Structure 1
Amino acid sequence: MTLPRGISAIAFAIAVLPAAAHAASFDCAAARSSIEHAICNDAQLSALDTQLADTYRAALKQHGADTDALKAEQRDWLKQRAPSGQIDVAALKEAYRTRIDELKSQPAFPEPGEAVDGPIFRLNAIAKQHDFVLRMLEACPAQSDKEDTTCEGPAQLLIHDKGQRAVRQVINLPKVFVTLPKGSKGPLVNSSRLYDYQGVINVGDFNFDGQEDFGIQTGNEGSYGGPSYDIYLFNAQAQRFVPNSEMTGLIQETLGFFEVDAKNKRLRTWAKSGCCYHERTVYAVEHDVPVAVERRIDDAQGPGDKMKVTVETLVNGKWRSKVHYEPIPK
């Protein structure tokens, strides 16, 4: 992956080569970008760059064998620091401090065979190609017969090929949100009902390549306090699941888990603004990236008993719109 030159060379090296023995530094005589000059010209910012490197390496050690998600997260953070104009040094310092605090808050994860303090959920019936074991690192409330309960905290996900004892992959998760439905024997899974609790793991073929993918609920930081998920796609070449930031962001910006239309090879999302404005968007998936191709907008914010309906379609790379009016649904 090529990152913009605006990111310091050493920061990129840290993200890609976490085992480097040297602290974050680079030759200021060779600085070219505005962000590199900003780091070189400010002693406090330079010290934060060094501190970030040290904190990142320490967090990697705490993740043990699984560092994929943390590396991807750090690369995304670095890309967001790419300058689009003049550098705001104060804002950059604050971004560094925030990221350092985030990395320091990363929990220490056990080895897969070590005991954990929380429940262990063996999920062998939610997928056709894989079995999952979700290990909560901390204790959860007891499951109730009278009401739904929830559990939130760090977790470790073990992934097996279907029916096999050997662990294919370990994924360490700083935060997972689990819904424990009343009267059930395990967590809610493969559920994406709008405005309701959703599955801690939802399995499906999200990029339509014939391989199972999955999303795991990391909290409720989505639109209108809805669920947020990390999406993992199975990479056939690497033979492992890899995080997908584009699909993760898609859920973050809309209402809950997207709908998977396997027949038409499309993903669908819902979004709204208040009571009277709704969007339904359809996405094709190109090279594992969702690309909007259709959108319907229902706008009942105006006066009268009609709502404005706009249907947008992507045709040969250009959006075409048609507008009509419908009665406002009761």
Structure 2
Amino acid sequence: MMNSRFLLPFTLFAVAAFGQNHFELKDASKNYDVKINVENCDKDECRGKAVIDLIDKKTSKKFQTFTSEDLNFYLKEDQKPTANIIQLYDEQSPLIFDDFNFDGTEDLAIRNGNESSYGGPSYEVYVFNSTKKQFVISEELTNLAYENLGMFQTDSERKRLITYAKSGCCWHLTTEYTVVPKKGLLKVYELEEDATGGDERVKVTKRELEDDKWTANIKDYPISEYYKD
């Protein structure tokens, strides 16, 4: 059974109840203008239930409507939200437009609270379905955005999705995935940095999937040398 959180974006809220907390974004997407109505705004931060409308740039007609239980975001100096910013331990925009499955069409991730690792931002991730001609929720990609340190990074040149995880100050894991058509995500690379030994050294383990087999390379460095940059 699908986790109940995937049902949230399809629950509509009354836009009129959100008062004047209305924002329009013209440059977030190459295909759509965006209208956002969010429940609460206080100074430079907004959060709460929100409705997001995508407006087709070519026809100026509403293309699709989404909702979020908690579209938490900060406002820029011009009192508008950002889009498409993903910074580890820093700003992550309420809306991320990108081609997450590398099929040549624009996809969309929508902020929904702070339920990822260490209370970081969490996202529902939608991919464009060329048959249905609309965005549909991707459970697999949404899980990726909930189970790691915020939204994953997209490397379009290498066609990789990159996640980050940690445990305390001294253990970090970077993981890369490819997207296999009709099969989903395939983990192909891990970088584990383990400095939990307490001896001022870090054990660095690189694992790669090559020809359907995992290989591992393990090296040990002084912490001062490894993190000098």
Match of 1:260 in 2: 154
Residue 140, structure 1, aligned to residue 41, structure 2: yes
Q: Secondary structure at the match of 2:48?
A: strand
Deviations 1:240-266 (A, max 9, x none): 011111111112111122111111111
What TM-score do the two structures reach when normalised by structure 1?
0.62
Q: How far apart are the structure 1 equivalents of 2:3 and 2:199?
A: 46
| Counterpart residue number, 1:244 | 138
Counterpart contact for 1:155–1:176, Cα < 8 Å = yes
Corresponding position of 1:53: none
Task: Tell me, yes or no, if structure 1 residue 129 matches structure 2 residue 26.
Answer: no
Matches within 5 A, 1:93-172: 109-110=13-14, 116-136=18-38, 138-142=39-43, 149-172=44-67
Count of residues in correspondence between the two structures: 221
In structure 1, the partner of 2:78 is: 184
Residue 88 of structure 2: aligned partner: 194
SS at match of 2:71: strand
Cα distance 1:158–1:324, how it changes in 2: closer, same or farther (>3 A)? same
Deviation at 1:107, TM superposition (A): 7.0
Q: SS of 2:60's equivalent?
A: coil
Q: Deviations over 1:305-328 (max 9, x none)?
A: 321111111123332211111221
Deviation by residue 1:96-152 (Cα, 9 ceiling, x = unmatched): xxx9xxx9xx97623x7x67424111111011122211122x24224xxxxxx3211
Tell me the equivalent position of 1:8.
none
Q: 1:311 aligns with which of 199, 206, 215?
A: 206
Unaligned runs of 5+ in 1: 1-74, 79-98, 143-148
Q: Which amino acid aligns with 2:41?
A: C
Query: Matched residues in 2 for 1:139 and 1:280: separation?
Result: 35
Match of 1:204 among 91, 95, 98: 98
Partner of 2:3: 77
Residues 277, 197 of structure 1: alpha-carbon distance in 2 compared, 3 angstrom cutoff = same
Q: Map 1:25-36 to 2 at 5 A.
A: none
1:128-182 Cα deviation digits (max 9, x unpaired): 122211122x24224xxxxxx321111111112224321111113232112213x
Which residue identity lines up with residue 140 of structure 1 in the other structure? C
Higher RCO structure (Cα 8 Å, ≥6 apart): 2
- Say if 1:187 and 1:199, in contact at 8 Å, map to a contact too: yes
1:298 is aligned to: 193
1:220 equivalent among 110, 114, 133: 114
Identity %: 37
**Computing the radius of gyration over CA atoms, which structure comes out larger, 1 or 2?**
1
Tell me the alpha carbon deviations over residues 198-255 of structure 1, each in whole angstroms, 9 at most, x when there is no partner: 1010111111111111111111111111111111111111110111111111121111
The answer to whether the Cα contact below 8 Å between 1:179 and 1:198 also exists between their aligned partners in 2 is no
Counterpart contact for 1:131–1:163, Cα < 8 Å:
no
More strand by share: 2
* Deviation of the 1:290 alpha carbon: 2.5
**Stretches (4+) displaced over 4 A:** none
